Amino acid sequence: MKRIFALVALGIAGGCQKGTAPAVQLYDEVEPIKLEIPEQEPTVESSRVMVVCNINSSDSIKLTEYYARKRRIPTENIVQIQTPTIEEVVRSIYDKDIERPIRKALRESKNRIDYIVLTKGVPFRVENSWGYSVDSLLVGINKSFELQPANLPPQYEAAMRHANPYFESEEPFASGRFGIYLVTRLDGFTLEDAKRLVERSIKAKPRKGLFLFDLAPNRFDKPSENESSGWHSLKMETAKRRLLRDGFKTQIEDSNRVQEQDENLNYRDEFLAAKEPLMGYVTWGSNDASFDASVYENQPFLAGSIAETFVSTSARTFIPTDQGQSLIGRLIEDGVTGVKGYVSEPWTVALCRVDTLLLRYTQGYNLAESFYASTPLIKWKDMVIGDPLCRPYGEFVDGDRPKRIRP
């Protein structure tokens, strides 16, 4: 039976045009620079991480050095590229400056590579304000298929082409088995924001919560239809039940009370503030009719916390702005350790399955495995922020499922 997709736009806001340069220099060869990275004995996991450094960006250089030292990344796993330090590039620049040298490095690597970490200063959107995510394109670097036009919702056949082979998997990730790489990014409004993602990953400990689910009164349409807004709201309630079953603390609104209206048809609901520091956060952000920026931008987070915001352009820019939809950059600034965002309208079919995300994470899978096991599409609009090796609820076991650590 063919699966029926509800192709719903989340609420389109104009993509960031700042930093877009349709005609800039293409770099044929990269003259490597010396990076201040000491020789260290890598762990099994760190030997499988490739880090991408844009040598045109001082932030990228500093962050590459910092992350490599903290996570003992072998120097041979550092890929130096040279590309404009802007957020959005045209396809020819992506192909030549970004994908080509990374493809070459992957082909020539003597180490098994499962994870690719992009650093602040590496462009993240291709083509235009409707464009694809650089990160997501690199996930499927070995997959050659016709891309769904970025300005149109993926219909059934297109969604099947873009299907993530690791989606809903319960196996530990291996690039050789699944034919893709798990790509994450260290980024934020500032270099210090990006560095703190690494610090919080290393400090992460297993906690019982809190896990906060902020339902939106205007996002309960067609709950029985796969991938509709209402369906994703029900997934929040499913995630809450599974976490409670496993002994975690949760906070969620009553779905019926959330939808209550007053005599003027205004929703009575208030945007939900955390009662205590968070290990997990799921929100409709500025798509919530009750959105309160002062609450969203001041949620407290614990080291190791992760979040998903169902906002179509939440990763459109890492330049601070109060214009347009809510940004994941605000949550990074607040102290989240990992978060998923979208560089342009992904439609609801592409949204993270939060029940799978939080179940995998609390079962001991790492940050990258958890986000990608809950991500249905690749080579699309998605961006995962954070250190892929962050694993507060588990202990790495090579070739097997993680050993679960309960709080």
Residue 22: per-residue pLDDT: 40
Question: Model confidence at 15, in pLDDT bands (50, 70, 90)?
Answer: very low
Q: Which residue matches tokens 């003027």? A: 264
Mean pLDDT of the 37-56 span: 96
Q: How confident is the model over 68-123, as pLDDT tens digits?
A: 999 999 999 999 999 999 999 999 999 999 999 999 999 999 999 999 999 999 99
Residue 250: per-residue pLDDT: 96
Phi, psi at 310, each rounded to 5°: -80, 70
Mean pLDDT of the 291-313 span: 96
Cβ-based burial of 144 (10 A; exposed 0-12, middle 13-18, buried ≥19) = exposed
Q: How confident is the model over 139-180, as pLDDT tens digits?
A: 999 999 888 888 888 877 888 899 999 999 999 999 999 999
- Mean pLDDT computed over every residue of the chain: 90
Kindly report, as residue ranges, where domains of CATH 3.40.50 are found in the chain. Answer: 190-385
Question: Model confidence at 292, in pLDDT bands (50, 70, 90)?
Answer: very high
Query: Is the pTM above the cut of 0.85?
Result: yes
Residue 263: per-residue pLDDT: 53
Question: Model confidence at 11, in pLDDT bands (50, 70, 90)?
Answer: low
More confident of the two residues 256 and 90: 90
Q: Give the right CATH number for 190-385 from 3.40.50, 3.30.300, 1.10.3470, 2.60.40.
A: 3.40.50
Question: Residue 1 above 60 pLDDT?
Answer: no
Question: Residue 267 above 80 pLDDT?
Answer: no
Residue 2: per-residue pLDDT: 33
Lowest mean pLDDT among 18-32, 45-59, 124-138: 18-32
